[in-house]
Amino acid sequence: MRFVDLVHYHPWQGKLGSPWRGCWALMRTGLRQVFRRKGYWFLLSLALLNFLLFFAVIYLSTQLPVAFQRFVSRERILQILDFSAVPDEEGRNGYVVFIQRQSIVVMVLLAFCGSLLVGSDFQRGVLPFYLSRSISRFHYIISKLLTVSLLIWIVTIFPAFVLFIEYGIFSDTYDYWWENRALIGGILGYGVVLGGTLSIVLVTISAYLQRMAPIAIIWSSVFFLLRIISRILVSETENRFWYLLDPWKNIRYVGMRFFGPLQSAEDAELAPYAATIILTVSLLLLIALWRRVRAVEVVQ
């Protein structure tokens, strides 16, 4: 019997693309989903307001006329935001201060993004469709981690680089960039620690809880409640090791190492423990995430 191909079906004859192109497609789709929601634009606007405040203060301090410098100095203006263009005696600088002040917006933004970016894939059965293509489980996890990290960097790291460029442009000399080039590596390193840690936690929580309400509750408990508990314990026991319960403190201890040796003896003592905690928790969460994604049945 002769079969007539009425739909003109034929197998793919071309060259298959790399699975990493699938990662880029998933990242692009995830970011598009986020930016379509007006609520997320509101949170991004709040982050932008803080950035514009830093931008305006830097511009005002660098462009302050000589006549007014008799009444208020450049350093005095920068102290309004606790901004330091160069690392101080403790190794802190204004760019780290800016990133840390964005933490509240980052926490709220990610609390509502988890269900949209990850939870919906499990809840609506989209993940088997992805995995039935040339995208493996490994590439799916990487794409989600990079998507969340990119959202974090849009609010923190990218604006910090803009502030760094702005200060160099409006300074008296362009030597500021060369003399403080180590800040570039420090900002990048801090961004990797911040984005990597938060993305692993969020993607894993979202893969298991899936819905927005439980994700937001657990996420807030981890990054807000633990901070309060750690401060209470430190205040009652006068033992700074309780700060290691605070994820934001651990990220700060590890991230500040990229700017150079920690000048504070107490911070230098806690930094190795913070790095161990971040690596251990991240590894356990990645194992849990892999088991969750591997449990999804796929028909090839």
Task: Tell me which amino acid residue 99 is.
Answer: I
Q: What percent of the chain has pLDDT over 90?
A: 22
Burial class (CB in 10 A: 0-12, 13-18, 19+), 117: buried
Report yes or no: 168 and 183 within 8 Å, Cβ to Cβ: no
Report yes or no: 277 and 260 within 8 Å, Cβ to Cβ: no
Which pLDDT tens digit goes with each residue over 189-212? 999 999 999 999 999 999 999 888
Which pLDDT tens digit goes with each residue over 136-161? 888 889 999 999 999 999 999 999 99
Q: Per-residue confidence at 265, pLDDT binned at 50, 70, 90? A: confident
Residue 87 scores a pLDDT above 70: no
Among 113, 108, 106, 137, which Cα is nearest to 32's?
A: 113
CA distances from 106 to 102, 159, 269, 299 (A): 6, 13, 28, 37
Q: Per-residue confidence at 89, pLDDT binned at 50, 70, 90? A: low
Domain locations in the chain?
19-294
